[in-house]
């Protein structure tokens, strides 16, 4: 008899998303959350936290390239970078491709996420050994509170604002990030989705709070098949640089980075938002 094992995530109370599972590779409950790794035919290995999809081997490139290359193509000289969350290693992997980056401080609250990723997700957790990478197991909000004028770029790769990721969607966090950044610093963040109402409110609130802390607060988008609705937003908050007018086209092209998703046309296009999203962002401002 054939075994039918499916991973199912409720994207809303009325919508389910399922992936047929080949094998349940890992399951552990940490101090903060439940971490699972599965293997599947369609998406390869995938990581879930508290039953919510974090990444799959098949589509993680979209998320990681979008959250990393977009600010890296705008900031003229990003040397010191703070990454909050991102225990799977995907953001670090993309960042280490830039030679100009001198220091990557990764602050992850949950050691277990890093351990599980190192063991089961070598596709993303492959650059933790890079000498520029420093790992801090700590609450991101606490870490950033004690930093001032130190970073060129902060990447907030958080879980949803329920559970340990909650503090990373607050005004105190964004304000502390502002303080931790240099005068021309940029912060990008995972910004939830505008589609289902479950995430819409979190998205609107995050935008409102970022706007309260940063003079430039833009939102951009990517298509991520395994996240609820497949449509996801990112925040681009900045003290000085505009993501479009300050885009350093030639310089970034000169890096000759091979990317599967990100390119400079897409960069510009990703900031062009649908009307309903513009409206959602405006109504909460």
Our CB check for another protein shows the closer of 171 and 240 to be 171
Task: From the candidates 157, 160, 242, 250, give the one annotated as an active-site residue.
Answer: 157
Number of Cβ within a 10 Å radius of residue 1: 3
Least distance between another protein and beta carbon 134 (Å):
20
Rounded Cα distance between 123 and 110, Å, is 20
Q: Which residue in this structure is represented by tokens 């030639």?
A: 250
**H/E run at residue 173:** helix 171-180
Options 72-80, 91-99, 166-174, 249-257: segment touching another protein (CB under 8 A): 166-174
- Is residue 184 annotated as a catalytic residue, yes or no? no
Least distance between another protein and beta carbon 129 (Å):
29
**Of the residues 39, 139, 184, 246, which one makes contact with another protein according to CB under 8 A:** 139
Q: Residues 222, 20, 88, 36: is their CA dihedral positive or negative?
A: positive
Kindly report the backbone phi and psi dihedral angles of residue 231, in degrees, each rounded to the nearest multiple of 5, phi listed first.
Answer: -120, 120
Options 50-58, 164-172, 215-223, 274-282: segment touching another protein (CB under 8 A): 164-172
CA within 13 Å, CB half, 261: 20
Q: Which of residues 201-220 bind another protein (CB under 8 A)?
A: 212
Least distance between another protein and beta carbon 202 (Å):
13
Our CB check for another protein shows the closer of 106 and 224 to be 106
Tokens read off for 23 = 């094998």
Our CB check for another protein shows the closer of 119 and 212 to be 212
Least distance between another protein and beta carbon 171 (Å):
5
Rounded Cα distance between 202 and 219, Å, is 14
> Count residues contacting another protein (CB under 8 A)?
15
Contact 163, 130 (CB under 8 A): no
Least distance between another protein and beta carbon 21 (Å):
31
Our CB check for another protein shows the closer of 175 and 230 to be 175
**Of the residues 86, 141, 155, 203, which one makes contact with another protein according to CB under 8 A:** 141
> How distant, in Å, are the alpha carbons of 46, 114, 194, 211, 266 from that of 121?
8, 10, 29, 35, 28
Kindly report the backbone phi and psi dihedral angles of residue 35, in degrees, each rounded to the nearest multiple of 5, phi listed first.
Answer: -115, 130
Tokens read off for 194 = 């505008």
Least distance between another protein and beta carbon 142 (Å):
5
Q: Which of residues 218-237 bind another protein (CB under 8 A)?
A: none
Q: Which of residues 167-196 bind another protein (CB under 8 A)?
A: 167, 170-173, 175-176, 179
Options 87-95, 125-133, 159-167, 275-283: segment touching another protein (CB under 8 A): 159-167
Contact 51, 38 (CB under 8 A): no
Contact 214, 187 (CB under 8 A): yes
Our CB check for another protein shows the closer of 124 and 213 to be 213
Helix 275-283 crosses helix 197-213 at what angle (to 10 degrees)? 60
**Which active-site residues does the annotation give?**
157
Interface residues with another protein (CB under 8 A) are: 139, 141-142, 145, 164, 166-167, 170-173, 175-176, 179, 212
């Amino acid at each position: 008899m054939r075994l039918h094992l499916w991973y199912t995530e409720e994207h809303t109370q009325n919508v389910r998303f399922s992936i047929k599972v080949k094998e349940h590779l890992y399951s552990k409950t940490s101090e903060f959350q439940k971490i699972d790794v599965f293997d599947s035919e369609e998406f390869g290995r995938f990581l879930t936290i508290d039953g919510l999809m974090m990444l799959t081997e098949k589509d993680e490139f979209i998320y990681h390239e979008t959250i990393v290359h977009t600010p890296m193509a705008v900031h003229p000289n990003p040397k010191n970078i703070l990454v909050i969350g991102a225990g799977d290693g995907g953001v670090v992997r993309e960042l280490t491709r830039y030679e100009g980056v001198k220091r990557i401080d990764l602050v992850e609250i949950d050691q277990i996420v890093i351990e599980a990723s190192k063991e089961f997700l070598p596709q993303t957790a492959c650059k933790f050994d890079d000498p520029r990478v420093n790992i801090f197991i700590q609450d991101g909000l606490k870490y950033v509170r004690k930093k001032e004028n130190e970073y060129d770029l902060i990447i907030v790769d958080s879980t949803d604002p329920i559970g340990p990721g909650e503090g990373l969607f607050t005004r105190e966090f964004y304000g502390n990030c502002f303080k931790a950044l240099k005068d021309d610093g940029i912060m990008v963040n995972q910004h939830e989705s505008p589609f289902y109402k479950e995430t819409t409110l979190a998205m609107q609130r995050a935008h409102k709070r970022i706007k309260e802390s940063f003079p430039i607060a833009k939102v951009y988008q990517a298509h991520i098949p395994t996240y609820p609705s497949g449509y996801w937003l990112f925040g681009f908050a900045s003290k000085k640089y505009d993501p479009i007018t300050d885009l350093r086209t030639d310089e970034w092209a000169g890096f000759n980075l091979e990317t599967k998703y990100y390119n400079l046309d897409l960069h510009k296009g990703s900031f062009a938002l649908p009307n309903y999203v513009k409206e959602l962002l405006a109504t909460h401002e």
